[in-house]
């Protein structure tokens, strides 16, 4: 069976895996974005807190993904939970770091003006600082997504969802007739998904970055 | 000539309907932890409603800090601030700032919002109705001289520096605050635009009568805009707090005179309008008069030249005796054209300029439609300036005397122990 025949035969299973893969990455990204921005907002004003936040999240990123998922299994069990926890944790670093950099990059005279015309701390953050920091934050989200696409494949190790199952199945049966096709289909599927997500981010950027600060 | 109306000496043009509020600073102090000297040390000042007060001083003298303490962008470490008699030192700063307009250098416009959204910020926070905000935005754009239809939807980066600054002022004034704080608002624009913006601010203030506190390091800007100027030295100590006239003619000490710089008498000319000095009559004839009459008028006038007016009564030409001899029946080519005229609103500086460039040594003063109303000559100018300077000097002396008396009185009270912590008279101690 050549690769195309394999695709034709298994397209239902592949589409299902791809959908689950995308869905897992998307949901984890939403979580990582919310948590990451919250951490960034909490930390950006003090040099000390910002350091702790970036160092902490980069330490997480250095843990090998297989080990991380393996370590999570006894804590949260098999299947979806370790996948979500691991992906969310891995996704934090680019978002936290870009959020801090973005918020710090806001022109202090604008913050001064916002304060001076009577904006509360919250209004300043929501109406001035975060919108101005949004382009770098979005870049962070984009980088995170690319990263998670690959890492999500490992989730299959803990019986998680996604195209990783395809790859692991292939690797597990190396030498058999479909092994290579399986690995290839899983890998290419992830690449295609990553490209689709990236295109979506370009569109989101177009739609959400105000014209006044678009480069 | 001595009884010309010299309204210059009055302290400030008290507006008919002040919409501004008084501001009192009492022993206002800012001390940063870790520095031995306070950066603002015990400032006492009383700012009248509807008055434009300029803080001027070298960089780092604390003028900006003092300004920012009024809307509590910087929290004072000591002293009280009262606006319209109400103590705002412990008021919720966010609520306080919504009642105080704030305009800064480089405009501080939010780049991700349109011009209209920028201006709408404060009204929105105050919970105005949408329709009212919309109307107000249009009104404000109109007020600062920008076409609402054209600029409404633009982003700040699509505007020139001067336009951004106008929008900044519009935003500061959008909720009609009684007080407007301006922190070197025109510091970052080119000189021509700055001049323009200053004129605009003067016009605005004439309409609005806000209480404006304006920080600058440019003394000429201070003279141009201020009803009163506070010259500040290090730690925001007030070296002199007085009208521009008084500071120009009678600087309190070397620091102030150093700051005033050279040419105080010339700068003084900018503060007086032609309408305030004596405008003399001058023999005139019109182009419709017969030549013989013009001859007779000139001979009878005792002057060397006579002013020829056109059909609508506007100054047209200076005619000399010789010109008439050579005219030979037609005035078409006789005499010298009047190059420059001034209105009653022009400054004496403009008038002097015109007198110096005009061959006859005098300049014609014109009314609203350019019609002749009189002339100002070199002699009048010189006499007026001398009188002005003399009057300023007397005024300043009197003022100083008053201050000394007040101070003596206060010292006396303090020695008697009757003046409690809050008993300061709020008098500006120069």
CA distance to partner chain A, nearest, from residue B154 (Å): 8
Q: Are strands B40-47 and B86-87 parallel, antiparallel or unpaired?
A: unpaired
DSSP one-letter code for A204 = H
Query: Which of B318, B176, B199 is closest to B270 using CA atoms?
Result: B199
CB contact under 8 A, A117 and B156: no
Instruction: Name the nearest CA neighbour of B274 among B376, B382, B383, B373.
Output: B376
Q: Which of A130-139, B56-65, B252-261 has the highest mean pLDDT?
A: A130-139
Indicate if the alpha-carbon torsion angle B372, B378, B379, B380 is positive or negative: positive
Question: How is residue A5 written in tokens?
Answer: 């025949």
Distance from C-alpha of B171 to C-alpha of B174, rounded to nearest angstrom: 5
Q: pLDDT band for position B15 (50/70/90)?
A: very low
* Minimal C-alpha gap between A205 and chain B (Å): 14
Cβ <8 Å between B102 and A116: yes
Q: Does A118 touch chain B (CB under 8 A)?
A: yes
| Cα–Cα distances in angstroms (integers) from residue B18 to residues B12, B46, B172, B204, in the given order | 12, 16, 18, 13
Any B CB within 8 A of A108 CB: no
Q: Which of A145-149, B206-210, B411-415 has the highest mean pLDDT?
A: A145-149
Tell me what the mean pLDDT of segment A31-60 comes to.
Answer: 91
- Looking at the fold, whether B194 and B293 belong to one and the same domain comes out as no
* pLDDT given for residue A129 in this prediction: 93
**Has residue B320 been placed in a domain?**
yes
CA dihedral A27, A29, A32, A33 (to 10 degrees): -110
Mean pLDDT of chain A: 89
The rounded distance, in Å, linking the Cα atoms of A66 and A20 is 19
CA–CA min distance B223, chain A (Å): 26
Q: Which of B239, B255, B271 is the last residue of a domain?
A: B271
B158 lies in a domain? no
Q: CB distance A118–B105 less than 8 Å? A: no
Residues B90 and B185 in one domain: yes
Same domain, B42 and B190: yes
Tell me the two tokens of residue B184: 């070197």
For residue B348, what is the domain's CATH number?
3.10.580.10
Q: How far is CA B411 from the centre of its chain?
A: 35
* B94 with A110: Cβ contact below 8 A: no
State the smallest CA–CA distance between residue A125 and chain B in angstroms. 13
Using a pLDDT cut of 90, give the percent of chain B over it: 18
Are residues B191 and B59 part of one domain?
Answer: yes
B186 neighbors B198 (Cβ within 8 angstroms): yes
Instruction: Give me the phi and psi of A100, to 5 degrees please.
Output: -65, -45
**pLDDT computed for residue B102 by the predictor:** 92
Taking CA atoms, A140 is separated from A33, A39, A94, A210, B135, in Å, by 9, 14, 5, 18, 40
Residue B391, Ramachandran bin (φ over 0: left; ψ between -120 and 50: alpha; else beta): alpha
| pLDDT > 70: percent of chain B | 91
* SS3 category, B194: helix
Same structural domain for residues B37 and B80?
yes
Instruction: Estimate the crossing angle of helix A130-151 against helix A3-43, to 10 degrees.
Output: 140
Which of B95, B99, B108 is nearest residue A112 as measured by Cβ atoms? B108
Measured distance CA(B88)–CA(B181) in Å, rounded = 15
Q: What is the pLDDT of residue B5?
A: 36
Task: Looking at the structure, tell me whether residues B186 and B216 fall in a common domain.
Answer: yes
B224 part of a folded domain: yes
From B355, B381, B407, give the residue that closes a domain: B381
The reply to whether B343 falls in a domain is yes
For residue B231, the domain's CATH number is 3.40.50.300
Most confident of A129-133, B254-258, B269-273, B346-350: A129-133
The residue of B74, B108, B127, B213 whose CB has the most chain A CBs within 10 angstroms, and thus the best one to mutate to test that interface, is: B108
Least confident of B157-171, B237-251, B255-269, B379-393: B255-269
Q: State whether residue B153 sits within 8 Å of chain A by CB.
A: no
Q: Which residue has the higher pLDDT, A85 or B396?
A: A85
- Give tens-digit pLDDT for B88-142: 888 898 989 988 999 988 878 999 999 999 999 999 999 899 999 999 999 999 8
Give B2's pLDDT tier (boundaries 50, 70, 90).
very low
- Most trustworthy range by pLDDT among A29-38, B55-64, B235-244, B378-387: A29-38
Same structural domain for residues B194 and B307?
Answer: no
Residue B355 resides in a domain = yes
Q: What is the average per-residue pLDDT within B347-369?
A: 83
Question: How far, rounded to the nearest angstrom, does the alpha carbon of residue B20 sit from its chain's CA centroid?
Answer: 16
User: In whole angstroms, what is the distance from residue B157 CA to residue B112 CA?
Assistant: 9
Q: Does B110 contact A115 at a Cβ distance shorter than 8 Å?
A: no
Asked if residue B65 and residue B193 are part of one domain, the reply reads yes
- CB distance B73–A116 less than 8 Å? yes
Per-residue pLDDT for B416 more than 80?
Answer: no
pLDDT score of B428 more than 70: no
Give the closest of A110, A120, A212 to B108, CB-based: A110
How far is A203 from chain B, CA to nearest CA, in Å?
18
Place B417 in a pLDDT band, splitting at 50, 70 and 90: low
Whether residue B151 lies within 8 A of chain A, CB to CB, comes out as no
Query: Half-sphere exposure of residue B40, counting CA atoms within 13 Å on the CB side?
Result: 26
How close, in Å, is residue A50 to chain B by CA atoms? 24
B266 contacts: CB under 8 Å, gap ≥ 6:
B349
Domain-terminating residue out of B339, B355, B381? B381
In total, chain B counts a number of residues equal to 430
Q: Is B171 on the interface with A (CB under 8 A)?
A: yes
The whole-chain average pLDDT of chain B stands at: 82
Q: State the CB neighbour count (10 A cutoff) for residue B254.
A: 9
Question: CB–CB of B156 and A132 under 8 A?
Answer: no
Question: Do B373 and B257 fall within a single domain?
Answer: no
User: What does the pLDDT read at residue B302?
Assistant: 80
**Chain B residue closest in CA terms to A131:** B112
Span A30-53, average pLDDT: 92
The pLDDT of residue A88 is: 92
Q: What's the pTM?
A: 0.71
B50 within a domain of the structure (yes/no): yes
Range of the domain at B289: 275-381
Q: How do residues B150-189 score in pLDDT, each as one tens digit?
A: 898 899 999 988 899 999 999 999 988 999 999 988 887 8
Q: Which ipTM did the prediction report?
A: 0.82
Kindly list the residues from chain B whose CB atom is less than 8 angstroms away from the CB atom of residue A128: 110
Looking at the predicted structure, is the pLDDT value of residue A130 above 90?
yes
Residue B198 in any domain: the answer is yes
Task: Give SS3 for A167.
Answer: helix
Residue B367 lies in a domain: yes
Q: Is the pLDDT of residue B324 over 80?
A: no
Rounded distance between C-alpha atoms, residue A97 and residue B56, angstroms: 42
Please tell me whether residues B206 and B355 are part of one structural domain. Answer: no
DSSP letter assigned to residue B273: B
Q: Which of residues 70-129 of B touch A (CB under 8 A)?
A: 71, 73, 94-100, 102, 104-106, 108-114, 121-122, 125
Rounded Cα distance between B315 and B336, Å, is 11
DSSP assignment letter at B127: T
In this structure, are B192 and B243 located in the same domain?
Answer: yes
Mark whether B361 and B241 lie in a shared domain. no
Strand order in the sheet with B179-183: B100-104, B179-183, B211-216, B52-56, B228-232, B238-242
Residue of A nearest to B70 (CA): A116
Counted domains in chain B: 2
pLDDT tens for B185-204 read 888 788 888 888 888 888 88
3-state SS class at B352 = helix
Residues of A whose CB is below 8 A from B122: 117-118
The whole-number average pLDDT for the span A13-18 is: 88
Whether the CB-CB separation of B15 and B50 falls below 8 Å is answered with yes
pLDDT at residue B11 greater than cutoff 50 = no
Cβ pair A118:B172 closer than 8 A: no
Percent of chain A with pLDDT over 70: 100
pLDDT surpasses 50 at B6 = no
């Amino acid at each position: 069976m050549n690769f195309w025949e394999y695709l034709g035969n298994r397209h239902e299973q592949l589409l299902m895996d791809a959908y689950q893969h995308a869905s897992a990455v998307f949901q984890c990204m939403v979580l990582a974005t919310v948590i990451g921005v919250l951490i960034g907002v909490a930390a950006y004003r003090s040099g000390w807190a910002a350091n702790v936040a970036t160092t902490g999240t980069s330490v997480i990123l250095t843990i090998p993904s297989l080990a991380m998922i393996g370590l999570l299994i006894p804590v949260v069990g098999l299947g979806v939970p370790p996948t979500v926890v691991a992906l969310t944790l891995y996704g934090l670093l680019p978002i936290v770091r870009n959020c801090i950099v973005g918020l710090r990059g806001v022109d202090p005279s604008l913050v001064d003006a916002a304060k001076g015309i009577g904006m509360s701390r919250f209004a300043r953050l929501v109406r001035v600082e975060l919108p101005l920091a949004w382009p770098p934050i979005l870049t962070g989200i984009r980088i995170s997504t690319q990263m998670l696409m690959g890492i999500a494949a490992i989730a299959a190790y803990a019986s998680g969802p996604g195209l990783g199952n395809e790859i692991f199945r292939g690797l597990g049966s190396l030498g058999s007739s479909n092994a290579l096709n399986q690995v290839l289909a899983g890998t290419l599927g992830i690449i295609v998904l990553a490209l689709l997500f990236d295109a979506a981010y370009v569109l989101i950027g177009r739609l959400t970055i105000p014209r006044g600060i678009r480069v | 000539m001595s009884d010309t109306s010299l309204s210059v000496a009055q302290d400030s043009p008290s507006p008919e309907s002040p919409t501004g509020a008084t501001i009192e600073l009492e022993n206002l102090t800012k001390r940063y932890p870790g520095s031995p000297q306070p950066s603002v040390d015990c400032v006492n000042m009383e700012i009248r409603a509807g008055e434009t007060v300029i803080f001027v001083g070298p960089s780092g003298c604390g003028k900006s800090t003092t300004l920012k303490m009024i809307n509590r962008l910087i929290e004072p470490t000591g002293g009280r601030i009262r606006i319209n008699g109400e103590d705002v030192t412990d008021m919720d700063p966010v609520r306080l700032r919504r009642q105080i307009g704030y305009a800064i250098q480089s405009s501080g416009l939010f780049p991700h919002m349109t011009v209209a959204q920028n201006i709408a910020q404060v009204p929105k926070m105050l919970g105005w109705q949408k329709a009212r905000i919309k109307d107000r935005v249009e009104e404000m754009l109109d007020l600062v001289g920008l076409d609402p239809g054209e600029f409404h939807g633009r982003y700040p980066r699509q505007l020139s520096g001067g336009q951004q600054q106008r929008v900044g002022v519009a935003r500061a004034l959008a909720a009609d605050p009684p007080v407007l704080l301006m922190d070197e608002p025109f510091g970052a624009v080119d000189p021509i635009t700055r001049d323009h913006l200053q004129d605009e601010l003067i016009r605005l203030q004439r309409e609005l009568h806000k209480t404006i506190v304006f920080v600058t390091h440019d003394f000429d800007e201070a003279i141009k805009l201020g009803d009163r100027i506070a010259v500040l030295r290090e730690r925001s100590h007030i070296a002199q707090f007085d009208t521009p006239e008084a500071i120009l003619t009678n600087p309190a000490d070397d620091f102030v005179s150093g700051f005033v710089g050279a040419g105080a008498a010339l700068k003084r000319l900018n503060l007086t309008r032609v309408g305030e000095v004596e405008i003399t009559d001058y023999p005139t004839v019109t182009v419709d008069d017969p030549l013989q009459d013009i001859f007779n008028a000139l001979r009878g006038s005792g002057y060397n030249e006579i002013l020829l007016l056109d059909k609508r009564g506007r100054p047209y030409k200076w005619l000399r005796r010789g010109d008439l001899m050579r005219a030979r029946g037609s005035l078409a080519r006789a005499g010298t054209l009047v190059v420059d005229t001034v209105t009653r609103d022009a400054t004496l500086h403009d008038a002097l300029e015109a007198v110096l460039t005009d061959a006859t040594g005098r300049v014609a003063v014109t009314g609203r439609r350019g019609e002749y109303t009189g002339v100002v000559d070199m002699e009048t100018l010189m006499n007026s300036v001398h009188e002005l300077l003399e009057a300023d000097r007397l005024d300043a002396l009197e003022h100083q005397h008053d201050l000394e008396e007040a101070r003596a009185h206060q010292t006396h009270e303090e020695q008697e122990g009757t003046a409690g912590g809050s008993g300061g008279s709020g008098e500006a101690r120069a």
